[in-house]
Structure 1
Amino acid sequence: MAASAIRPARITRVLPDSIAEEIGFEPGDALVAINGQPPRDLIDYRFLCADEDLTLEVLDTRGKTHQVDIEKDIDDDLGLEFETALFDGLMQCNNACPFCFIDQQPPGKRGTLYLKDDDYRLSFLYGSYLTLTNLLPQEWERIAQMRLSPLYVSVHATEPEVRSRLLKNPRAGQILDQLAWFQAQRLQIHAQVVVCPGINDGEHLATTLQDLARFHEGDVPAVASAAVVPVGLTRFRPPGDELTPVTQAQARQAIAQVQAFQADCRRRFGTNFVWLADEWFLIAQQEVPDEGHYEDYPQLGNGVGSIRQFLKAFQQSADDYLPETVSPPRTLTWVVGNAVGHAFQPIVDRLNTVQGLTVRLAALASDYWGRDLTVTGLLTGHDLLLGLRDVSDAPNPAQNEPPSQHHALGDALLLPTVMLKPSDSGDPKDTLFLDDLSVAEISQRLGCPVIPIDDTDALVRACCCDLPDDSFTDLQPAAGYWTPS
């Protein structure tokens, strides 16, 4: 991309006690160039800042340009954070996959929900999946020169005609040649296969897994791991998309097929190599595998082993922080997707052994997306209002009456932050669900405080902390709670 298309990198935060703070950088300043080269993205920024001697061109908030010379130890970080990792814009998808979640959303929501990320840089930095169909020769060259590995690739099928049909793109049929390129460059990918019944399952899935396994051989396997994920469909998906949801029988068949392939991989490679997303077992109404099955969790971003990891993490958090009793007594409602309701019941049972603590599990399906089986991250504000309204419709009590005695939801809602995204305002109270409803609005309409929880430590501490009042408190570094006004 031409330098003229690279925007100055807008600074949003200057880390305390950092080189940047000492020099006098402020949020709102913009980084234009490092040693004369405009950084295209966070990758360039990190690479260029590895030098000991830096000359920075900086644009301050008043529009004035400054030159800043810095001497530092090699690899010392400057302590700057930016509003985006991509200073030259997002590389968007040029495919038309019918199962794309972006195309399965209703119109009229905030613009960021409709951005189709297919950017290899975000794949390298954050583990997002890309298809490799939009890369120009210079981008392939950059991946090789900068050793951007591993990347995360949505393969779906290795047969050219099947993959082209799924992605609605004739260039999608080049996937085997592209995997051979990674192998020749001694670079790695983690592969994803979204299974669509009747299109890339059965024999096609067998071919895909066999092809991917061929690239797992050698001292630097080109395909480090593969995840098999069931297609997720919403009621907003385009008409005539050829897709059908995975049934219980199909889930059980896929589990048996992949588990047989895993056994063969263990004999050949000493590893499962390919893993099933937890959702297969939830659809099939089968128990997820034991913890040891997941090895080092190479496909956690695809929901592979996330339930087992959460259960293990909770046990450690309970051992570290859970007391025998809490005072004053409190009742809390923990909201999760109904897909994990059964799996998380042991956590609720353990929490309820604490004297004075009552935790109720509200395992909700998503009416908004039209999904009978719903993971927690897809629940919306609409789903909470609909699913909790029957237990939250209670009159306001006298002020001196404990909340848990009058409100069926209890003293507060425990809300996993996986449901939430920051708003454009940056105000924590404006944090949004996928349907653009804010947490503050949900708290007000349900008449109940909301405690955001982002991990098992936060879950346990929220159960044992002081009850909400009319202000924020530090339950976790980036959390507090919202109270209805």
Structure 2
Amino acid sequence: MSKQHAGVILRVYPGSLAEELELVPGDKIIAINDQELNDIIDLSFAMADEEIDMLIEHADGQQEMISFDKDFDEELGVEFESAVFDGIRNCANNCYFCFVDMIAPDMRNSLSIKDDDYRLSFLYGNFVTMTNMGPRDFKRIEQYHLSPLYVSVQCMNPELRAQMLRCKGAARIAEQLDNLEQAGCDYHTQVVLCAGLNDGEELERTIRDIVARRPHALSMAIVPVGLTKYRDDPFPLKQFDAEGAARVIDEVEKWQAKIREEEGRTFIYLGDEFYLLAGREVPPTEFYDGFPQLDNGIGLTRSFINDWEKTEASAGSYEEPVYLDVVAGTSVAPILAKLADSVQQENLHIRIVPVANDHFGHTVNVSGLLTAKDIMKTLDGLTGKRTGILIPESALRSGEDIFLDDVTLEELQAHYPEARIEPVQGGKDFRQALTGWHGYHKNRNGETAYTWQSNAGYTKNIQY
């Protein structure tokens, strides 16, 4: 065997095959039926056999071969520390708009991981540029039918793309998309739109080229560039203002109408920020075609409102006054306020608390990037009674109850002993918390742990 890679077990599920085999956290799975394992994908295909010889290395360094029979579709029942056993593929680019490069200093190392790994794209929907991919990767995509992938296109002008990513290989975007299609892989696409750079005529070109790649191209998301106060890249970038956001909406709506007329779906979706910034209503549910890029933030606002509307409010009123502070990023606060205003329950007092992001800079206005210190600074500046505090669950690392600035939920609760703190994930949680506060509790036990990745969001650790 060449250099051995191993899948390190993080958790063994009760009643699972792994528990029956007496596997424990810390054990490493090195090979199955003499097949080396580079990632969870290799393991999944190897585990499809019914007769298994599994090479294990225990925490003390001792190796053991475990042989057993299993049903064809029987899962092992473990969670791994990482989906990729041979290490995450690092990004080969130096993009003008890289969010990881704009992370505040002295934060945990995991926030600085710059991944660009097609395997994480297949497993979790992480967006990849494909600049570090070669023939072996496309062959493996074809062999294992790894579809769909999620591709950061940014623009289809090869020279401009190479410039924006600061990588000569980025100019091969059309060729790389051809390679995906020849491998039988469909893909979702993303454009991080930068004012004055890849918008206007360049956006028209990108849309035209991607639309022509249907049906392999499944969808296209256009999201505005995000900048923090820690960006020190010399290339000048500016964010969209209300007028610029409105222009983008108008431009894209023409394409959306054309495609809906052709095939009855929208295909191109704008990030919620464009609508919020331009002061326009987010599109209706049917416009999002089942929300294919919800994890990319496309349609989150509409999905939140839908969940709210589908949830029945708790009947009755509160016998004693209840004072709830609802913590939110500044962009979504007006929508939460509108929903809260529709709640008419006696003795219920709701205060929406928009939190300015001092940590990353006020241009960062989403709830998921709020830190505990900024939340506390804002809440501490308010007067009046407080029964409970609702915080956005997206601001926590799932499974760990910890904010981006390493403050724990327990520490935040200790700071406000007079008020119960509860996370809220979506519209259903929000309505249940407001109308049935005394019975509301967000049970987050057993949720999968998350790690930070370079698409500026949290991605799940792999389960198998």
TM-score, scaled relative to structure 2: 0.90
Aligned with residue 250 of structure 2, among 252, 256, 264: 256
Among candidates 412, 436, 439, match of residue 409 of structure 2? 439
Using the TM superposition, give the Cα deviation of residue 445 of structure 1 relative to its aligned residue in structure 2, in angstroms: 3.6
Partner of 1:357 in structure 2? 348
**AA matched with 1:248:** A
CA 1:298–1:381: 2 relative to 1, 3 Å = same
Are the structure 2 counterparts of residues 178 and 19 from structure 1 closer, same or farther at C-alpha, using a change threshold of 3 Å? same
Partner of 1:454: 425
Equivalent residue for 1:97, pick from 95, 101, 110: 95
RCO comparison, higher one (Cα < 8 Å, 6+): 2
Deviation at 1:437?
2.9
CA contact (8 A) 2:89 2:117 kept: yes
Q: Deviations over 1:182-230 (max 9, x none)?
A: 22233111000011111101000000000001101xxxx2211001111
Counterpart in 2 of 1:396? none
**What residue is the counterpart of 1:202 in the other structure?**
200
Q: 1:228 aligns with which of 219, 222, 229?
A: 222
Q: Which amino acid aligns with 1:153?
A: V
Q: What secondary structure is seen at the aligned counterpart in 1 of 2:3?
A: helix
The code of the aligned residue for 2:351 comes to: R
For residue 332 of structure 1, what is the aligned residue in structure 2? 324
Sequence identity percentage: 36
> What is the alpha-carbon distance in structure 1 between the residues aligned to residue 438 and residue 98 of structure 2?
43
- The residue type paired with residue 88 of structure 1 is D
| Mapped partners of 2:432, 2:8: distance in 1 | 36
Superposition pairs of residues 39-188 of structure 1, within 5 angstroms: 39-188=37-186
- Between the aligned partners of 1:239 and 1:117, the Cα distance in structure 2 is 19
- Contiguous gaps of at least 5 residues in structure 1: 393-406, 480-485
Amino acid at match of 1:236: Y
> C-alpha deviations, 1:306-360, integer Å up to 9, x for none?
111111112223x1x623234554222121111011222233134x423443332
Which residue of 2 is the match for residue 346 of structure 1? 338
1:411–1:449 contact (8 Å) kept in structure 2: yes
Q: Distance in 1 between matches of 2:89 and 2:332?
A: 34
Q: What TM-score do you get using the length of structure 1 for normalisation?
A: 0.86
Equivalent AA in structure 1 for residue 316 of structure 2: E
1:383 aligns to 2:383 (yes or no): no
Q: Secondary structure at the match of 2:35?
A: coil
**TM-fit CA distance, 1:413:** 1.4
Q: Is the 8 A contact 1:462 1:475 kept in 2?
A: no
CA distance in 2, matches of 1:276, 1:474: 31
What is the CA-CA distance between 1:446 and the residue it aligns to?
4.6
Taking structure 1 as reference, are residues 69 and 239 closer, same or farther at Cα in structure 2, changes over 3 Å only? closer
What secondary structure, in the 3-state scheme, does the structure 2 residue paired with 1:166 have? helix
Aligned pair partner of 2:361 in 360, 363, 370:
370
Q: Secondary structure at the match of 2:381?
A: helix
| CA displacement 1:153-172 (0-9 Å, x = unmatched) | 11000010111111011110
Q: Which amino acid aligns with 1:156?
A: Q
The number of equivalent residue pairs is 445
* Distance in 2 separating the partners of 1:474 and 1:23: 34
* Aligned alpha-carbon RMSD (Å): 2.2
Q: Contact 1:225–1:273 at 8 Å: present in 2 too?
A: yes
Q: Distance in 2 between matches of 1:106 and 1:123?
A: 26
